[in-house]
Amino acid sequence: MATAGGLSGAVGISARPNSTAACLVQKVGALSNSLPGAATVQVSQCQNKARNGQAIRCAMATGKEHGAVTAASSVDQNKGGLRGKLNKVVLAYSGGLDTSVIVPWLRENYGCEVVCFTADVGQGAIELEGLEKKAKASGACQLVVKDLREEFVSEYIYPCLRAGAVYERKYLLGTSMARPVIAKAMVDVAKEVGADAVAHGCTGKGNDQVRFELTFYALNPELKVVAPWREWDITGREDAIEYAKKHNVPVPVSKKSIYSRDRNLWHLSHEGDILEDPANEPKEDMYMMSVAPENAPSEPEYLEIGIIAGVPVSINGRNLSPASLLAELNEIGGKHGIGRIDMVENRLVGMKSRGVYETPGGTIMAAAVRELEALTLDRETMQWKDMVALKYAELVYAGRWFDPLRQSFDAFMENITATTTGSVTLKLYKGSVNVTSRKSPYSLYREDISSFENGEIYNQADAEGFIRLYGLPTRVRAMLEKGI
């Protein structure tokens, strides 16, 4: 399942206006890639940290500097809220309606300071604009923004790609992979700011609540988890607007999409509205990352994808960082109508749901890695890899990223794909991805053996004895049935 309860790809929440609390903005560089063969990207990091409420200045991804000032919170630290007392809560934040009302709700119900957290996982600059102002207007004492794009691709997407993890035959796990990297960052921020709780805006019907909370439990079981959608009386958009007005929270004036969407560097998901009926064909104006295959260029495009140890590292001979490589493939694939998936899936909580996914770059990557494995993996290894991949995908979908079982599976995948190195040339044409060439220094394909001509290594006459022995159980069974 892609989204839950207005939780966007930015993931997060804001707080209430007319508060003396101001905002602190941090932009922290992503972790460098630890997978073999992938280029390391240079990301500027904030060198100054807030200490005892002092102001800091940090360089953002755009190269511009944003000032941040902290002030004493208006929250009375000696009093609790309607539901209890928490000191400080780190809240996943996007700046939308749902997230905007959660901050005053937390302050009212738990008497706490609220630190808004936003993760940049490639959802786009538009979703990140104006977050400081929104958080300040809602009453947050602090806004933390972290650039997780490189970490997301190298430490989460690439392991799944290497494993060949696909949920229920189609879903390439776009949202499933993003939630643990965001939740992990929230745990880190909670430690940095001294928070005793974390909160999210996921509904009680979706998968994301499980993904966030299992990560919280795995990394810091002492943190209190608050899930407002499972506690409050707000039942829909109108209730949320009314609550926002009552607490002087500016209601976002942007046009409400008829679809529930989640976007990150790997994919864009669409749910809701006419898609809730599986019989309805998606409308073309819904798609945002890809053109309709019939409107794609009339000439095919060829791409050579370089791969080292099961993960892509280059396009047409150009080495790129993981995030940069994926972003470029998204552009190329989207132009050719690649990666559209329409599926009905089984949510973790038991119900079925229908979603439409756009994963142009990921579809290209998956095709390239799979084709190279045809050269480098033997039959038994490939079969076991495919079987383990099913369980791997299930664990990721269910939010069990930090489970010892997934980590053990990952060690297995890393080991068997150590020789999955080489290049694959793909032909992109009107929604299709076809392989035209594959090469590897570790190829198990031998032309001198596979040729129809007789050779020194393979004697065709040897096949007779092999067939007699291989078919012996079949022959014995037939003899029994015929009384021979």
Question: Is residue 98 annotated as part of the catalytic site, yes or no?
Answer: yes
Name 29's Cβ contacts closer than 8 Å, sequence gap at least 6: 43, 44, 45, 147
Query: Distance (Å, rounded) from C-alpha 145 to C-alpha 60?
Result: 9
Segment (H or E) for 127: helix 125-128
Question: Is residue 179 annotated as part of the catalytic site, yes or no?
Answer: yes
Question: Is residue 154 annotated as part of the catalytic site, yes or no?
Answer: no
Cβ–Cβ < 8 Å for 164, 385:
yes
Torsion of CA 399, 402, 403, 409, to 10 degrees: 100
The single residue of 179, 263, 406, 438 carrying the catalytic annotation is 179
**Cα Rg of the chain, angstroms:** 26
Closest CA to 435 of 376, 383, 364, 380: 364
Q: How far is CA 100 from CA 105, 161, 424, in A?
A: 9, 35, 46
The single residue of 73, 94, 98, 120 carrying the catalytic annotation is 98
Cβ–Cβ < 8 Å for 24, 68:
yes
Token digits of residue 450: 């596979």
The single residue of 14, 100, 154, 260 carrying the catalytic annotation is 260
Closest CA to 299 of 183, 167, 150, 428: 428
The single residue of 14, 208, 290, 423 carrying the catalytic annotation is 208
CA angle 158, 370, 339 (to 5 degrees): 75
Query: Distance (Å, rounded) from C-alpha 458 to C-alpha 466?
Result: 12
Cβ–Cβ < 8 Å for 270, 283:
no
If one counts every other C-beta atom within 10 angstroms of the C-beta of residue 460, the result is 10
Q: How far is CA 190 from CA 5, 47, 102, 214, in A?
A: 23, 19, 18, 16
Catalytic residue positions? Answer: 98, 179, 208, 260
